[in-house]
Structure 1
Amino acid sequence: MTATLKSTLPDAARETTGNALQGALVDLLGLSLLAKQVHWNVVGPRFRSIHLQLDEVVTAARDFADTVAERSSAIGVPPDGRIAALAKTSELPEPATGWISDDDVVELLVEALGGAITRLRGAIAATDEADPVTQDLLIGLTAELEKQRWMFQAENV
């Protein structure tokens, strides 16, 4: 049985908003996986502080991923968080295998968060008229990721 949930958004606005939310979902799930991978493998003199900061990124990304996916469902667009969807559409950098120095972790997270933020800003612009409710959610999400990027960037100043 295939059911279709009805949306209060017009079709064009729902499509634009659904695309914006799907992109955000892929980035958030990818960020949570990337941050957890380097969390397990970080080494160096700043191990502990970076290890703990990575957990903050994982928690924020997972929490926002759930909110984004539920918003997508609420507007009648089924979210796709499958591994195949992430592998096919993720634009995040991939960490090297094995141990990774604390300097390299910081550089990787600054790059990954920066890319996600850039894509989110595009989604914010796209949802301006299509769905201000989703736009508000994306603005809050972007603010959190910018805070996390700033904290990592401050590690290498």
Structure 2
Amino acid sequence: MAAITGPLGKADQKVVAKALQGALVDLIDLSLVAKQAHWNVIGPNFRPLHLQLDELVDIARGHADTIAERAVALGVNPDGRAATVGEATRLAQPEVAWLEDGKVIALFTDILEGVSKRMRERIKATDEPDPVTQDLLIAVAQDIDKQHWMFQAQR
């Protein structure tokens, strides 16, 4: 079977593939961690956090699909398997327990700050090799930054 090839040279493809794979891992795990918190959050702010976490899941899943499809368009195989995400994730993991609303707010403020920082690194890395990918990463960063602000404002 013929491989899918993309428009980038090998060196540029390697840089962009690394950025896309890192973004994919962040986004997949963000959706999983947010859903875990969504199921287990308790406290006076349960309802708004429950809904906000679902919004975050939808955002992360939507961007993950776009990022993975960009990788394929460039001739790169995205890897969103559970084992890969588990090995590569840099996100803090919530406890398997009831999660007090204040702890959820603190956890997601920190998680989103880390994801935002890594997205900015990826944005810089893709500036020269692929401005199209950079543009997608900028869109991800915009939504992550907005979510960070919304969680941080609740502290």
Q: Give 2:80's aligned residue.
A: 81
CA displacement, residues 31-69 of structure 1 (integer Å, 9 cap, x when unaligned): 000000000000000000010000110000000000000
Q: Which residue of 1 aligns with 2:67?
A: 68
- Structure 1 position 96, deviation (Å): 0.8
Partner of 1:154: 153
Partner of 1:118: 117
Cα distance in 2 for partners of 1:115, 1:149 equals 10
* Structure 1 residue matching 2:68: 3-state secondary structure: helix
Q: Distance in 1 between matches of 2:40 and 2:16?
A: 36
SS at structure 2 position matched to 1:130: coil
Alignment-mate amino acid for residue 22 of structure 1:
Q
Secondary structure at the aligned position of 1:128 is classed as: coil
TM-score by length of 2: 0.98
Q: How does 1:1-157 map to 2 (within 5 A)?
A: 1=1, 3-156=2-155
- For 1:107, the aligned partner's letter is A
* 1:4 shift after superposition: 1.7
Aligned Cα root-mean-square deviation (Å): 0.7
* SS in structure 1 at match of 2:90: coil
> What is the letter of the counterpart of residue 60 of structure 2?
A
Q: How far off is 1:7 after superposition?
A: 1.0
- Structure 1 residue runs without a partner (length 5+): none
- Give structure 1 regions of 4+ aligned residues with deviation exceeding 3 angstroms: none
* TM-score normalized with structure 1 length: 0.97
Instruction: Name the amino acid aligned to 2:3.
Output: T
Q: Percent identity?
A: 52
In the TM superposition, residue 97 of structure 1 has moved relative to its aligned partner by: 1.1
> What SS does the aligned partner of 2:128 have?
helix
The DSSP-based 3-state class of the residue aligned with 1:97 is coil
- Measured in 1, the distance between the counterparts of 2:147 and 2:77 equals 28
1:12 CA drift (Å)? 0.7
1:79 alignment partner, SS class: coil
**Any stretches of 5+ residues in structure 2 without a counterpart?**
none
Count of matched residue positions in the alignment of Structure 1 and Structure 2? 155
Supply the distance in 1 between the matched residues of 2:42 and 2:115 (Cα, whole angstroms): 25
CA positional deviation for 1:94: 0.5
4-13 or 74-83, which deviates more: 4-13
